[in-house]
A and B are shown apart, each in its own frame.
Chain A
Amino acid sequence: MTPTDNTAAAPATEAMPAPGTREVVVRCEGLTKEYDEITALKALDLEILRGHVFGYIGHNGAGKTTTIRILAGLLEPTRGRAEIAGEDVVERRGAIKSLVGYMPDHFGVYDQMRVWEYLDFFGAAFRIPRRKRRDRIDYILDVTDAEYMRDRFVDTLSRGMKQRVGIARTLMHDPAVLLLDEPASGLDPQARVQMRKLLRRLADAGKTLLVSSHILPELAAVCDTIGIIHQGTLRASGPIDQVLSELHRDRLMEFRLHEGVERAAEVLRAEDACSQLDEADAVQGLLRFRFSGDDAAMAGLLGRVAASAKVVTLREVPLSLEDAYMAISGLESEEEPELMEAPDEAAGAAKE
């Protein structure tokens, strides 16, 4: 059985364009959320395409959960607009409920309830007819590899199992968009791999996923696009490669030398296009540096270094998502107090 041939899927899926089209499913424009003295979200602009897995990255308190709760219709934005499949999340809350499957960062547990009863309750709460509900439960337990948990009590499950049941619950009414808040949080490595496979499977089945996390390798492996939010502001978004190249216009290069490390370092220091020379592993013949020039300049530099030292290799160090994240949050850690600033003060600081 595929998601598209499941009858319970009809309400949400029929309204959506076919997978593969570049249809924007989730759109935020100037989305802002202010609490008394804290601005949790500052004029967020965001677009997620249908069938994409969007990784939402940020440290605790960055604004991830706020965004997700607004999109799920649980939190009212102070300003701005958010749409899911063209439906405004504030004005069309009824429609949003059919379109969105929301999984919070904590798993709501009912005592004394078995997994299938838990899914049956939420299915009935979404007004899915009984027969379709039965099929739907079978299908989503199969999709989420949770069939063996069917008769187990929800509150006795391990965290990884609960997370899978949580995702199964979000699939009950076959929503077009899944909003998953930290689904991999607290999972052991094996459960994380399973979770990653499950998310990929859902995306392949045509679901649009917004997955928040700070476990970056997990997101890098599963996401089509990412957004990095810091202190309520989206600092970067797009395909992972694009974000990385935007964040690091200067390439990170590494020389491996057999002899003449000090002379090579002298050459690099003298180059205008080189910066941030890292000599920490110089004893082992390794020199790392940022290079802002083009390939021709790189060839010239290689020649000058080779003239003064014995070069074994020169390579470009691939950037990870973690590097990108650190580039935004780590380097700007001095701005941390801004999070607690009053809105007008923050606005003043931004103008300056």
Chain B
Amino acid sequence: MIRNPIIHRELLSALRTRKAILLQVLFLLVTGALILLYWPAGGIQDVGGQEARRIFGVLALGEIVMVILFAPAFTAAALTSERERRTLESLFATAMRPRDIAVGKIVGSLGFLFLVILTGVPGLAMPFLLGGIEGTQFLAALGILLLTAVYLGMIGLLISAVMHRSYRAIITTYAILLGVCFLVAMPATPLSNHLINRGGPAWRGVLHVLASLSPLEAMLSAVWPGHAWSRGAPGWPAFWQLHLPLAGAVTLVSAGVCLHKLRRPAAPPRPRERLKVVERGQITARTFLFLIDPRKRKKMIRWWQNPMFIKEFRTRPMLQAQWLIRAFGWCVIISILLMIAQSVTVQAMLPDRPGTRIIEEDLPTVIAALSVLVLLLVGPAITGGTLCADREAGVWDLIRTTRLSSVRIVTGKFGAAIIPLLLLVMAILPTLVVLPFFVSFRVNLWPTILAVLSVVLMTALFVAAAGMFFSSLFSRTATATAWTYALVISLGLLTLLMLLGEGRFSQRIIAGAFVVSPLAAALDAAGSAAMIKYQVRTPHLQLMAVATVAMFLVAVVRVIQLRRPDR
């Protein structure tokens, strides 16, 4: 394996990039910041080791979230970028076997991530100084970190082997990983609290196994075994004990499929020449299946239309009308399913909680969380390549020679980024609109609905501006999308880790962290009991408005710079 030339090349090229230094610094900075924040300031010795376990848990969770965010960035484009550069065929023309290529890619891509994790080991080991941490616990945490890198990295590589374009592979990988890491962990608390009793032990077992797929859940159960999120269904092994064989199996299956894919010559992208033009007014089967037939002849660009805006909608796959309508449909379905799930949960919870409170707090909370999560998870995929896609496709120079002004370019791009996000939000609106019907009972929900909407709209603007910002800084869509995801997920989800510090930090410090989180602000706006005490909505809106304007302006300045003659 050591003689595998791909490993050498991948490691060297990864280490030579600025991204490598930035990631290393970011990783160590976050680890250092967590230690600084959570390290006990008082001189009282914690004999029971509670404090040490708490710090250890926070560090381990912080590091695993970073691994979850970084791992796809290294492997998801590993094979697609070779395809795009047309170097994959050259690799296969060498004496190397497909297995060597796959192994070289995975080890080479993850080698750097391993190095990053290992540099974090001293930080992770610091709680030893306080006592109360067992060596096995430390090794388990380190093992889960390294296994997660391989597990998620292998999923990324599999996606990379299947797909043709880097940015699509990265988006798909992130979407899958967010499901694998976060969504499957959702039932963990209800399981722990024995709220889902209706399905019986078999149903609880299924949910327990599903939750065990999440490395986040595995780490949580390893470092804080007694936590409400860690207990799981009664009678089942701890999440991390199930996670190890499950993650191992998924890794092996992914590796097998990846090898199988690599052994066979890659199928070329589906020829689109079959998509003959359908003249306007002509009805076909697709008209009904797609609502908008992708083959239908487009209209010429009108004088009042921004050519850049129209071009974006015609060329970017995520903005094609047929896909937008599908996404819209999915959001409506999810929204309705959530309503049903919510009503089921309401019935289950009725004996414990008054119905009015459920309508006032739980329904808006779920809808607000769903709206913001959709924006955080889908938004970067739509907005990440806003500006750099043209540079990547080699068309930017051509656009520079046209008479399109910088303002028209930026507004066209921004419009194309924001409209699909707003469409997705609109798709969730039916559920939100249902809420006022509860007004007839006795609750006035309009202020709550408007508050949630304000946060959701600001989040849409922020995500669009963040996508523009990063795509103006980087020349590759994949990089810009990865950075947009990193920022948006960090602000939206990572800041929620501060919930673990309740009791340790003052309310002011926690509110300070939540003020940047769209999810926290949306939950606050929805009247969630966990968030309302922090009152973060108004400062969040102000801060996000400033950040959005600042990022938009930076994007405008960058476009002006990029349009100027090169020096």
Contacts and interface: CB of A to CB of B under 8 A. Distances in A.
Interface of A: 69-70, 72-76, 90, 93-94, 97-98, 100, 102, 104, 106-114, 117, 120-127, 129-130, 133-134, 151-153, 156, 169
B401 A124 contact: no
B397 A76 contact: no
Contacts of A109: 393-395
A73 B276 CA distance: 38
Interface of B: 271-273, 275-277, 298, 300-303, 305, 307-308, 310-311, 314-317, 320, 390, 393-404, 564-567
B314 A113 contact: yes
A126 B400 CA distance: 11
A120 B311 CA distance: 10
B307 A108 contact: no
Contacts, number: 105
Contacts of A121: 301, 307, 310-311, 314
Given A76-B564, A130-B301, A151-B277, 16 more contacts: A72-B401, A73-B565, A98-B403, A104-B394, A108-B394, A108-B397, A108-B398, A109-B394, A111-B315, A111-B393, A112-B317, A113-B311, A120-B300, A124-B301, A124-B307, A126-B403
B401 A75 contact: no
**Which are the 4 A-B pairs with shortest beta-carbon distances?**
A108-B395, A125-B402, A124-B307, A124-B301
Nearest to A96: B401
A3 B490 CA distance: 57
B302 A114 contact: no
A124 B314 CA distance: 14
Contacts of B314: 110, 112-113, 117, 121
**Which applies to chain A's interface (DSSP): helix, strand, loop or mixed?**
mixed
B164 to A, nearest CB: 11
Nearest to B565: A76
Contact of A102 (B300, B305, B396, B401): B401
Contacts of B564: 76
B397 A104 contact: yes
A75 B565 contact: yes
B102 to A, nearest CB: 28
26 contacts: A73-B401, A74-B401, A74-B565, A75-B566, A76-B566, A97-B401, A102-B401, A104-B394, A108-B394, A108-B397, A109-B393, A109-B395, A110-B311, A112-B272, A112-B316, A113-B315, A114-B277, A120-B301, A122-B402, A124-B301, A124-B310, A125-B403, A126-B403, A130-B302, A133-B300, A153-B273
B315 A69 contact: no
Nearest to A102: B401
A69 B398 contact: no
A108 B393 contact: yes
Given A69-B566, A156-B271, A169 B300 contact: no
B499 to A, nearest CB: 42
Contacts of A106: 394
B8 to A, nearest CB: 28
B517 to A, nearest CB: 35
A122 B314 CA distance: 14
Contacts of A129: 303
A169 B298 CA distance: 19
Nearest to A104: B397
A9 B349 CA distance: 74
A108 B395 CA distance: 4
A343 B507 CA distance: 63
B397 A127 contact: no
B307 A156 contact: no
B60 to A, nearest CB: 42
> What is the interface of chain B mostly: helix, strand, loop, or mixed?
loop
A67 to B, nearest CB: 13
B400 A74 contact: yes
B388 to A, nearest CB: 13
B320 A112 contact: yes
A50 B303 CA distance: 33
A122 B397 CA distance: 12
Contact of A126 (B303, B305, B396, B402): B402
A134 B300 contact: yes
B397 A102 contact: yes
A106 B564 CA distance: 20
B300 A104 contact: no
B393 to A, nearest CB: 6
Contacts of A111: 315, 317, 393
B84 to A, nearest CB: 12
A113 to B, nearest CB: 5
A254 B442 CA distance: 109
Contacts of A73: 400-401, 565
Which of A97, A104, A117, A126 has the largest count of B CB atoms less than 10 A from its CB?
A117
B273 A127 contact: no
Contacts of B300: 120, 124, 130, 133-134
A151 B403 contact: no
B301 A104 contact: no
A221 to B, nearest CB: 28
Contacts of A75: 565-566
A127 B402 CA distance: 9
A117 B397 contact: no
A153 B270 CA distance: 13
Contacts of B320: 112
A114 B277 CA distance: 10
Among B316, B320, B404, find the residue whose CB has the most chain A CB atoms closer than 10 A. Answer: B404
Q: Specify which of A70, A72, A94, A122 lies most central, judged by the most chain B CB atoms within 10 Å of its CB.
A: A122
A138 to B, nearest CB: 12
Nearest to A98: B403
A119 to B, nearest CB: 10
A72 B563 CA distance: 12
B402 A97 contact: yes
Which has the most chain A C-beta neighbours within 10 Å: B271, B320, B395, B564?
A: B395
A69 B401 CA distance: 10
Contacts of A153: 272-273, 275
B272 A104 contact: no
Nearest to B277: A151
Contacts of A94: 403
Nearest to B275: A153
A4 B271 CA distance: 39
A117 B312 CA distance: 12
Nearest to A93: B565
A73 B563 CA distance: 10
Given A111-B315, A125-B307, A90 B565 contact: yes
Contacts of A104: 394, 397-398
A73 B139 CA distance: 60
B242 to A, nearest CB: 42
Contacts of B276: 151
